[in-house]
Chain A
Amino acid sequence: MASESTKSQAVENLAFIREMMEAGQRQTRFNATYMIVWGTLLAAAFLAQYFEALGYFSASIPTIWLPPILIGWAASIYIGIKTNTATDKNNPVIKAYSTAYMSIGITMSFYFFATLAFGTFDPVTITILACGLYGAVHLINGVVTGLFIFKATAVGWWGLMAYFTHDASHTKEMLLVLAGACIVLILVPAVLIRASRSEVLTEAKTSV
């Protein structure tokens, strides 16, 4: 039979586990926040563009895309300033995936603004570019973090790239597919990653 002192030690250990897990969560929980922010903004922008194409309202591409891009960058900078710790700066894993995501943002923003400025914007090219970049970055994330879900979503992005390469026509449905991809391949994995990290933490909390 477990004695009172053994039980007391178990309670103490669970409290200690909770404390350490919360310390670990403070280090990386915001990683998923970037994905949640961008997944939501991109899905919303694609849906807005889809409904615009259907004729529900009238707006130009810059009008639809500028707000989410600016909000996304502002939110990313804010999250970065708020959460950037000495540990993050020294952690090669965090540096690897944050740089990978930043490279998507820079490439896509550069393409978007440059092609708008020169009048060479091509919706199919930017779509294929985005799918390829997301596939590459998710593979990098999968390798450096050891999270299998990123490898699965990398395959999803490359599958989409193959699909859009095969059918290069810019249709309304393409916008809907991309909105769905942002939800399924960015937003949902972010929520799952966050949930899996808090699962044991919750268990430790409720067990005390």
Chain B
Amino acid sequence: MTDFDYRAIDDVIHSRVRLAIMSYLMTAGSADFTALKKETKVSDGNLSTHLSKLEANGYVIVEKSFVDKKPQTTVRVSDTGREKFKAYVDSLAALIGTA
């Protein structure tokens, strides 16, 4: 028997790439698109898709600007994202503890 609730697993974060993005941003605070692409090792399109999902759910804040006349996308984790991430880690810990 277990009291672990599978519904506690956050589907938005649970994807491997989105988990990588959130984990990285939790300590980095913010990162540009290039840095995230390098860290997550995914294509531009794939990263954009995952960032869009995180942004749509309010987990990250995406800001676009121009640096030296070149477009730059900066991503930072939101307060909601920070809370959800902590809850996700807690749920994993609970899962391990109750298996």
Contacts and interface: CB of A to CB of B under 8 A. Distances in A.
Contacts, number: 121
Contacts of A1: 1-2, 4, 99
Contacts of B86: 200, 203
Contacts of B67: 90, 92
A173 interface: no
A14 interface: yes
A207 B99 CA distance: 13
A27 B65 contact: no
B1 A7 contact: no
B99 A7 contact: yes
A93 B29 contact: yes
Contacts of B26: 21, 24, 197, 200-201
B96 A87 contact: no
Sorting the interface of chain B by its residue count into under 10, 10 to 19, 20 to 34 or 35 or more gives 35 or more
A29 interface: yes
A73 to B, nearest CB: 25
Contacts of B1: 1
Given A13-B92, A92-B67, A146-B76, A2 B99 contact: yes
B72 A23 contact: no
A6 interface: yes
B85 interface: yes
A7 B99 CA distance: 6
Interface of B: 1-2, 4, 16, 19-20, 23-32, 34-35, 38-39, 61, 65, 67, 72, 74, 76, 85-86, 89-90, 92-93, 95-96, 98-99
